[in-house]
Amino acid sequence: MLIHPTAVIDTQAHIDPTVKVGPYTVIEGPVKIGPDCHLHSHVKVTGRTTIGSGNTIHSFAVIGDTPQDLKFKEQLSELVIGSNNIFREHTTVHCGTNGITRIGSNCFFMVGSHVGHNAEVHDFVTMVNGSRLGGHSTVFERAIVGAGCAIHQNARVGRLAMVTNNTAQLGDVPPYCISMHTAVVTQINHIGLRRSGMSKDAVNAIRQMFKLLMRDLAGIPLPRAVDKLSPELLAHPEVREFVDFVKSTKRGVAKFQPWSQTTEEKGTADATHTDDNDGQNA
């Protein structure tokens, strides 16, 4: 039997015949669940939620509940989830406020992680235990949000970036970077770049770009510093991706501070610039 007799399933729900539903799980509302998903015991899936194929949801996770938003007044609220994601125990993912919360495919949400309303999580993202995404935040492909980290509403974490050490990111963390302190970029994510299968030429271009922007042009606002990159560097799609990310920031970009300096002077960089005139320093 794929559906345990103690499970409670709404007549509005559309569940593929291959879905496994464990004891005391509750599925309520117009939920749609695709093939080969496995809902363990004591799971709750609710709301206008669409779940793709091959997802695994562990005990006490709550998927698709109403947003934690005082502006929410029962208007349009949806959650769309791709395929082959893992949601571990006590994960919470909320629907959007007058919109949609979106999760891609092949993501890993560890124990107690949270995705807020209208957030967007791209493919192959890892959210470690206790990490949280604020409303309207975005995490791009293959990024890692470390244990206890909080991403502020409307902030972004770029592709292949890593945020660690219980930090609170008030602004954007650019692609390929590591942040080990609040609003500070400390280094390139060398291991992540290598594991991603990126070419050596692309990795070398990112390293050259990082050195130029974060050291040689230190003190120049980052959205202006990227204009000084050579055509040779800009010929690499990965470098252009970094530039486009920086230029499209709304909350500002994390400053650069070497890891050795952050360990000696903790707390010296505790703010993120919020507009171009304020100078998003590299």
What pLDDT, in 10s, does the model give residues 133-179? 999 999 999 999 999 999 999 999 999 999 997 999 999 999 999 99
In the numeric block, the tokens 């609710």 are attached to 46
* Domain range 190-265, CATH architecture: Up-down Bundle (1.20)
Single out the residue of 53, 45, 46, 49 nearest to residue 22, CA to CA: 45
pLDDT band at 261 (very low <50, low <70, confident <90, very high): low
3-state DSSP call for residue 48? strand
- Can you say whether the dihedral through the CA atoms of 253, 255, 260, 262 is positive or negative? negative
Q: Domain extents for the chain?
A: 8-136, 190-265
Task: Report the relative pairing of strands 177-179 and 187-188 from DSSP bridges.
Answer: antiparallel
Q: Is the pLDDT of residue 89 over 50?
A: yes
The conformation of residue 215, written as its DSSP 8-state character, comes to I
pLDDT digits (tens, 9 = 90+) for 199-249: 999 999 999 999 999 888 888 888 889 999 999 999 999 999 999 999 999
- Half-sphere exposure of 32 toward its Cβ, with a 13 Å CA cutoff? 9
pLDDT band at 183 (very low <50, low <70, confident <90, very high): confident
pLDDT digits (tens, 9 = 90+) for 48-86: 999 999 999 999 999 999 999 988 887 789 999 999 999
- What's the confidence (pLDDT) of residue 111? 98
- What's the confidence (pLDDT) of residue 68? 94
Tokens of 235: 């010929």
Q: What are the b/e assignments for 5-38, b being 16+ CB within 10 Å?
A: eebeeeeebebeeebebbeebbbbeebbbbebbb
Is there a contact between 161 and 149 (Cβ–Cβ < 8 Å)? no
For 8-136, which CATH superfamily applies?
A: Hexapeptide repeat proteins (2.160.10.10)
Q: What is the pTM of this model?
A: 0.89
Single out the residue of 4, 13, 11, 10 nearest to residue 39, CA to CA: 4
Q: Which long-range contacts (CB under 8 A, 24 or more apart) does 259-264 make?
A: 259/180, 259/186, 259/187, 262/180, 262/181, 262/184, 262/186
- Half-sphere exposure of 69 toward its Cβ, with a 13 Å CA cutoff? 24
